[in-house]
Amino acid sequence: MDPLIAEIKVLIIESLNLEEMTPDDIDADAPLFVDGLGLDSIDALELGVALQKKYGLSFAADSEETRRHFASVSALAAFVGSHRTK
Amino acid sequence: MVYDRGAILGMDGSVVNALHFGLESWAAWAPDLTSAQDWQDWAAQGAPARSLDGAEPGVAGMPPMLRRRAQRLGRMALEVLYQSEADHAASIVFASRFGEIQQSTGLLRELARSHAVSPQAFSMSVHNAVAGLYTIARKDAARVMALAAGTQTAQAGLFEAAMQVADGAPRVRLVFCDEPLPALYRPFAEPETPPFAIMLTLVPGDDYVLSWQEAEAARDANAQDVLRFVLSDASRVSLTTSGWVMARCA
């Protein structure tokens, strides 16, 4: 498995206080928001800040492109892999 | 009804001298006093000093995806709120002197350090956030009012709840909660507040009365003083140094 995927799963669990959840519980290809993991808009902001701090990324606050990057852990890993500055 | 510059005013502007209410039930939780019996023993022993530390409650009734948003103070408040039935007609008065002070202080530190604060922590640092979280989780569309009034927070909470009862509310859930200040603020604090959440459920009735009397209290009462009074057979407790008193009706 892509080590970045494992790393992002841990980041999600820690930054969003997903108690009692392990990386194995997160399907890398399942939707992160509403369906699938069931995250909400505050989580989206929280995750954005966490990714910004850890990988030096920046996002357009509410664009179609950002929505695509946040669709799943796999999509996030692809975006982080190609855009990270640290 | 409103409480304005030391007087209770009716809707027509007339001064109200006393507020009567019934007490349907109480609930309380603290890390070292987790059952009703614990609190009764504590009150019977003259309210001995309590531990400033301790774990948070489980709030087993709340879905984990919402519960994760609350820190210890919020979880204590939720633990006592979950001991009531969901009831749209029973408004909630959330009274806390400092609110989520641990989290607010953490936010300020983070803002100074990195200029980027946690949206999740920020959303929960608003004073009425915990009560709001409860109403979402329980689908309990009760009216929520959140207040803080320094050392007079207990009196202000009681007045607000009793005024709502006097204005016709069938039931009011009055939730008090606070926890020790972060180390940064401790040099400025009065005696330390141990962590606690207390809920008093007020209904129309004649168990207690809030009124002004010539009294000489050395300090304003906190919520634990109020619960201790409720659990005792004392006839009254001074709420403020200015003379507001809560008394049992004969």
Contact A17 B69 (CB under 8 A): yes
Tokens matching residue B41 = 């023993």
| B232 Cβ contact partners less than 8 Å away, ≥ 6 residues apart | B43
Three-state secondary structure call for residue B65: helix
> Is A42–B120 a contact, with Cβ atoms under 8 angstroms apart?
yes
> A49 at the B interface (CB within 8 A)?
yes
CATH code of A59's domain: 1.10.1200.10
**Is B120–A43 a contact, with Cβ atoms under 8 angstroms apart?**
yes
- Confidence (pTM): 0.91
The strand pair at B7-9 and B15-16 is best described as antiparallel
Highest mean pLDDT among B4-18, B30-44, B212-226 belongs to B30-44
* A–B CB contacts, 8 A cutoff, strictly below: 29
- A20-54: per-residue pLDDT in tens? 889 999 999 999 998 888 899 899 999 999 999 89
CB atoms within 10 A of CB B92: 26
- CB burial string B23-35: b at 16+ within 10 A, e below: ebebbbbbbebee
CA angle (A26 as vertex; A25, A30 as ends), nearest 5: 135
- pLDDT level of residue A65 (50, 70, 90 thresholds): confident
Distance of CA A72 to the CA centre of its chain: 7
* B69 CB within 8 Å of a chain A CB: yes
List the one residue out of B62, B77, B94 whose CA is nearest residue B27. B77
DSSP-derived 3-state class of residue B4: strand
Query: Residue B145's closest CA among B167, B164, B120, B118?
Result: B164
Q: How many domains in chain A?
A: 1
B206 neighbors B22 (Cβ within 8 angstroms)? yes
Q: How near does any CA of chain A get to the CA of B136, in Å?
A: 13
Token pair recorded at residue B88: 């749209």
Q: Rounded to whole angstroms, how far apart are CA atoms B122 and B114?
A: 15
Cβ pair A7, A50 in contact under 8 A: no
Q: State whether ipTM is beyond 0.90.
A: no
Structural domain range at position A38: 3-83
Residue with tokens 């892509």: A2
pLDDT tens, position by position, B188-224: 877 788 999 999 999 999 999 999 987 778 899 999 9
Q: Is B126 on the interface with A (CB under 8 A)?
A: no
pLDDT tops 90 at residue B10: no
The three-state secondary structure class of A1 is coil
Give the span between the Cα atoms of B62 and B78, in whole angstroms. Answer: 8
Choose among A19, A20, A49: nearest Cβ to B119.
A49
**What is the C-alpha to C-alpha distance for residues B76 and A44, in angstroms, rounded to an integer?**
27
